[in-house]
Amino acid sequence: MSRFAAPIAEQIWDMKYRLKAADGTALDGSVEDTWRRIARALASVEATPDAWEERFYDALSDFRFLPAGRIIAGAGTDRSVTLFNCFVMGTIPDSMAGIFDMLKEAALTMQQGGGIGYDFSTIRPRGAPVQGVAADASGPLSFMDVWDAMCRTIMSAGSRRGAMMATMRCDHPDIADFITAKHDAARLRMFNLSVLVTDAFMEAVKADGPWDLQFGGRVYQTVPARDLWNRIMRATYDYAEPGVIFIDRINAANNLHYCETIAATNPCGEQPLPPYGACLLGSINLAQLVRDPFTPAARLDPQALEDLVRLAVRMMDNVVDASRFPLEAQAQEARAKRRIGLGVTGLADALIMLGLRYGGDPAVAQTESWMRAIARAAYFASVDLAREKGPFPLFDADAFLASGMMQAMDDDLRAAVRDHGIRNALLTSIAPTGTISLYAGNVSSGIEPVFAHEYTRKVLQTDGSRTEEKVQDHAVRLWRELHGDTPLPDYFVNAQNLAPMDHVRMQAAAQKWVDSSISKTINCPEDISFDAFKDVYMAAWDMGCKGCTTYRPNDVTGSVLSVAESSEATPEADTGADVVYLSTPFDRPEALEGHTYKLKWPGSEHAIYVTINDTVINGHRRPFEIFINSKNMEHFAWTVALTRMISAVFRRGGDVSFVVEELKAVFDPRGGAWVQGRYIPSILAAIGGVIEQHLIRIGFIAGEGLGLKTDPEAQRMAVGEAPLGRVCPSCGAPEMVMIEGCMTCRACGHSKCG
């Protein structure tokens, strides 16, 4: 009998985690084989590997402990991959040579699949003098554009989709440009952005005082602190970025405050890391530890929780020794401090199974209690490991115990750390778990509320047809098994009907016992007032959070799917996220209107001519066919192939803008070219740019990097069905939704954030 609770779980395992040969032959015959492969790999560094392999296998079984995706996919495969999810790179020097050395390191790291974070505050502001060359500095934003192009190139060369985080201090002279950088939809698309907010700045905001923007000891400008805060808030209100990181609070609480300074995080923000710091993640599936759910005796088994946490800490500590690293500096940093990030998933489901409403006072108290129990078990497990294997090399008892986090710990734990040391400098973090939550049977993700109780998923079959499959949240499925079609009790809330402050209270409750940070998205309604929106961030600061990320659907950010809570319901979307899927192509009219574009590629003798003809469906213009021609016979075969394939895609309907994204990401190993001030990685990427400009010209998309502009009512009339969600660039399903700060596909688990 399958160990998977839902078809989507097995499909995620097969697509993302199952070990396969280069020709696609499955080497993991079952998910049990996957668990065995991971357990054996992580036990291999033990003195008695056979004994630990069985215990590790037990922890993995039934999806109770969920290592991060890179561990599941890579452990025991003998492939040259890192088992660490993300990295913060080295401090960027304020020199041209140093900047491009850092760019090279970033490329090598992303090539192995690691997401990266960078603090760009160390680069002098735009207009500052550059000694020795009689020139002015172009500023950090210009170099972020270079990083963005690099990430696109690495992605197009066959690696997983890259993710990067860029941070900038709130007192950097270019902070205003940083705040608004992504208002241009074509810019910095591979980055998440966050402002490093200091305690002094928050005090100045509350006091409505002045704020100095400075670099290198020079004050460039003084601005009202509250005005700068409002600019940050307005940008995230309208564009969902930048996020806010309370950087002084992070450094004050950091167990390693005595030997490192943090200025950046991994791409999703749950791991504030020093230069070359590495992000090692895993999650306890709380939903699997609930006994007697939906009864007066419902409880989470405390002994099972402690035992599982202890095993998970040991497994994750072993990953430090078992993993490869893209750079030697990353390996040295990881082994000197041995930080891990053990978190949870399925929290909301576990609360529901106990009859607790997410965000309510009892749920907040229960969350804090569970997180405290996890922290104590993890820290005591690490003390035991230190007695057995030695503490982390940079351990200093007095300095370690003086940190803000350790001062909040119980006296017995502090005494154990002083007497025996501790194996891992930091132990807890709550990561985005979108994909592994699907793999575990669609349990709720991280500490997020249930996103949707159930929805209908369209599954592409091998013959090209699509079938419909109902996907239920884990707790909902369990309720139905026990109670049939009895209406769900009112404690079955979801992300769409919670007040923002419910999210903040839950994040703050968990943060109290998490020594790193938390990936959490606070969903805000589209009609929330700007003042109420700002109150969310101020509440996050006042309640002790280490950062704050919100998502408010609008015309710019796109819509979040709203899902009716009945088994017959299908997802519906607002105007920003509509896709048409047709079973048969459009018929070709006798006459079409079109445009021809001339593309001159540097170094090529002959120009390429791109002709795109359009059709009109219910009054809306859309591309129908393309012709690509050149006198250069070297181009003949691939231009004919492109003409046929892209035309076939256009004639099928739907959001064909993904063609642009795929072409623009193609990398030519012989090198690209600078065209009109932009670096274009290949001729194919240039053709993608031509198609994009045409789609903008006819109003099919709103702008570079933006979604469909076509009226969804017209699309509905064209195909006779309701519009669907954003299309996934990986599997093509219309299931892209905003979860934990990242657009994530509920069909295949694809996410820009990994």
User: pLDDT-derived band of residue 720, with 50, 70 and 90 as boundaries?
Assistant: very low
| Segment 488-491 long-range contacts (CB within 8 Å, at least 24 positions apart) | 488/453, 488/565, 489/355, 490/357, 491/351, 491/352, 491/355, 491/356, 491/357, 491/358, 491/360
pLDDT in tens, 250-284: 999 999 999 999 999 998 989 999 999 998 999 99
Task: Name the pLDDT band for 704 (thresholds 50, 70, 90).
Answer: low
Q: Which residue has the higher pLDDT, 420 or 701?
A: 420
- Say if CB 525 and CB 574 are below 8 A apart: no
**Hey, how many other C-beta atoms are within 10 angstroms of the C-beta on 51?**
11
Alpha-carbon span 633 to 648, nearest angstrom: 23
Q: Are the beta carbons of 702 and 571 closer than 8 angstroms?
A: no
DSSP labels, 284-297: EEGGGGEESTTSTT
- End of a domain among 212, 239, 264? 264
- Say if residue 76 is in the same domain as residue 128: no
The answer to whether residue 118 sits within a structural domain is: yes
Classify residue 550: in a domain, yes or no: no
> Is 348 in a helix, a strand, or coil?
helix
- What is d(CA 421, CA 64) in angstroms, rounded to the nearest whole number? 29
Residue-range definition of the domain harbouring residue 113: 86-264
List all residues 6 or more positions away from 272 whose beta carbon is below 8 Å from its beta carbon: 245, 247, 250, 254, 262, 264, 265, 516, 517, 546
Over 70: is that where the pLDDT of 106 sits?
A: yes
Provide, rounded to the nearest whole percent, the portion of the chain with pLDDT above 90.
60
What is the number of other CB atoms lying within 10 angstroms of the CB of residue 223? 14
Query: Catalytic: 497?
Result: no
What would the two tokens of residue 367 be? Answer: 């969350």
Q: How confident is the model at residue 699 (pLDDT cuts 50, 70, 90)?
A: confident
pLDDT in tens, 475-495: 999 999 999 999 999 999 998
More confident residue, 400 or 634: 400
- The residue among 494, 438, 490 whose CA lies nearest residue 469 is 438
Q: DSSP secondary-structure letter at 15?
A: I
Are 203 and 217 contained in the same domain? Answer: yes
Contact at 8 Å (CB) between 294 and 455? no
The predicted structure's pLDDT at residue 464: 55
593 is a catalytic site residue: no
Position 298, amino acid = A
What DSSP string describes 487-514? PPPTT---GGGS-HHHHHHHHHHHHTT-
Residues 312 and 416 in one domain: yes
Give the tokens for residue 671: 């090198």
**38 lies in a domain?**
yes
Residue 75 located in a structural domain: yes
Q: How far apart are CA 508 and CA 524, in angstroms?
A: 17
| Number of domains observed in the structure of the chain | 3
Which position among 53, 105, 270, 735 bears the catalytic label? 270
* Residue 617 predicted with pLDDT over 80: no
At residue 416 the predicted structure's pLDDT band, cuts being 50, 70 and 90, is very high
Other C-beta atoms lying within 10 Å of the C-beta of residue 252: 13
Identify the CA nearest to 169 among candidates 116, 124, 235, 230.
124
**What is residue 49's DSSP assignment?**
H
Q: Give the range among 257-271, 357-371, 450-464, 524-538 with minimum mean pLDDT.
A: 450-464
Which residue, 489, 523, 557, sits at the end of a domain? 523
Report the 10 Å Cβ neighbour count for 634: 10
Last residue of a domain, one of 523, 545, 580: 523
Q: Is residue 339 part of a domain?
A: yes
CB neighbour list of residue 720: distance below 8 Å, 6 or more residues apart? none
Q: Is 268 a catalytic residue?
A: yes
Do 133 and 36 sit in the same domain of this protein?
no
Domain match, 161 and 204 both: yes
| 149 & 254 share domain | yes
Is residue 373 domain-resident? yes
The residue from 86, 151, 268, 545 that is catalytic is 268
CB contact at 8 A, 290 and 353: yes
For residue 649, pLDDT beyond 60: yes
Q: Output the domain CATH number for residue 4.
A: 3.20.70.20
Rounded Cα–Cα distance for residues 146 and 123 (Å): 14
What is the spatial distance between Cα 492 and Cα 477, in angstroms, rounded to a whole number? 12
Rounded to whole angstroms, how far apart are CA atoms 83 and 378? 21
Structure tokens at 690: 């031509």
Task: Tell me what pLDDT residue 702 has.
Answer: 67
What's the CA gap between 517 and 514, in Å, rounded?
6
Q: Does 70 lie in the same domain as 3?
A: yes
Average pLDDT over residues 617-628: 83
Residues 224 and 373 in one domain: no
Is beta strand 281-285 parallel, antiparallel or unpaired with respect to 86-88?
unpaired
Report if residue 148 sits inside a domain.
yes
Task: Encode pLDDT of 440-455 as tens digits.
Answer: 999 999 999 998 898 8
Respond yes or no on whether the N-terminal peptide bond of residue 242 is cis (omega within 30° of 0).
Answer: yes
* Same structural domain, 238 and 323: no
Determine phi and psi for 409, rounding to 5 degrees.
-80, 160
Q: What is the pLDDT of residue 580?
A: 35
**Across the chain, what does the average pLDDT equal?**
86
Q: Output the pLDDT for position 579.
A: 34
750, part of any domain? no
Exactly one of 266, 285, 523, 613 is catalytic; name it. 266
- 175-179, 496-500, 516-520: lowest mean pLDDT where? 496-500
Cα–Cα dist 475/441, whole Å: 10
Question: pLDDT digits over 373-399, tens only?
Answer: 999 999 999 999 999 999 999 999 999
Same domain, 607 and 630: yes
pLDDT in tens, 552-599: 987 766 554 444 343 333 333 332 323 333 345 667 777 888 889 988
Q: Dihedral angle at the C-alpha atoms of 55, 372, 343, 307, nearest 10 degrees?
A: 10
- Residue 368: which pLDDT band, with cuts at 50, 70 and 90? very high
Residue 714: pLDDT band with limits 50, 70, 90: very low
Instruction: Report yes or no: 184 and 224 within 8 Å, Cβ to Cβ.
Output: no
Query: Do residues 381 and 257 share a domain?
Result: no
pLDDT of residue 717: 29
Regarding whether 130 and 46 lie in a shared domain, the answer is: no
pTM exceeds 0.85, yes or no: no
